[in-house]
Amino acid sequence: MIITCPNCNKKFKIDNSLIPNEGRDLQCGSCNHIWFYEIKYENDEVLKLNDEIKSKDVEAKVEKKERKIEKKKQEFEKINTKLNNENENILKKQKNNTLSKNTANNGIKFFSYLIVFIISFVALIILLDTLKTPLIKVFPGLEIILFNLFETLKDIKLFIIDLI
């Protein structure tokens, strides 16, 4: 326990067992003042429960809490509806983005198909040129058609060179 000297207000820590219930004389180690010290219990009263709790007060508090809960529920519902609206907007934007990506992909697919067609056509021409002699022996009327095809390709080649 901590005891304060009434003369100089110096504080001392003293073991509880050194002071009996009747009290005793103490001497300050700083100013040599002697005084009688008795342990005083500040709260000697036994705490009693108040049995007179008014039910109206309790009901009023309950009603206030219920109102607060209802307000919180309404706020929560508002937040949920806002979040749902935002989610719907995000989904709409994602659908729009996928549609725009699909149109972009369609353009890319078209050029891919065009390149594949051109490469396949060139491969067919090279194959026909390579196998021209055996094909003419099997199909005699094919010679004029192949000659006209090669002449047309040469004309197209010259036209493209002139454009560049």
Euclidean distance between CA atoms 107 and 113, whole angstroms = 10
Euclidean distance between CA atoms 1 and 13, whole angstroms = 6
Is the distance from CB of 136 to CB of 143 less than 8 angstroms?
yes
The terminus-to-terminus CA distance of the chain in angstroms comes to 106
Residue type, 154: K
- At 155 the pLDDT is 92
The residue ranges of DSSP E strands in the chain, in sequence order, are 2-4, 11-13, 24-27, 34-37
Residue 36 belongs to what H/E stretch? strand 34-37
| pLDDT per residue rounded down to tens, the chain (164 residues) | 788 898 998 988 888 788 888 888 888 888 889 988 888 766 555 555 555 555 666 677 778 888 888 888 888 888 888 888 888 888 887 777 666 666 667 778 888 899 999 999 889 988 988 998 888 899 888 889 888 988 998 998 899 899 98
The two tokens of residue 6 are 């009434």
What is this structure's pTM? 0.34
Distance (Å) of CA 90 to CA 78, 80, 98, 134, 154: 18, 15, 12, 65, 56
Euclidean distance between CA atoms 91 and 85, whole angstroms = 10
Euclidean distance between CA atoms 129 and 123, whole angstroms = 10
- At 116 the pLDDT is 93
Is the distance from CB of 34 to CB of 18 less than 8 angstroms?
no
- At 56 the pLDDT is 64
Backbone φ and ψ for 38, nearest 5 degrees, come out as -125, 140
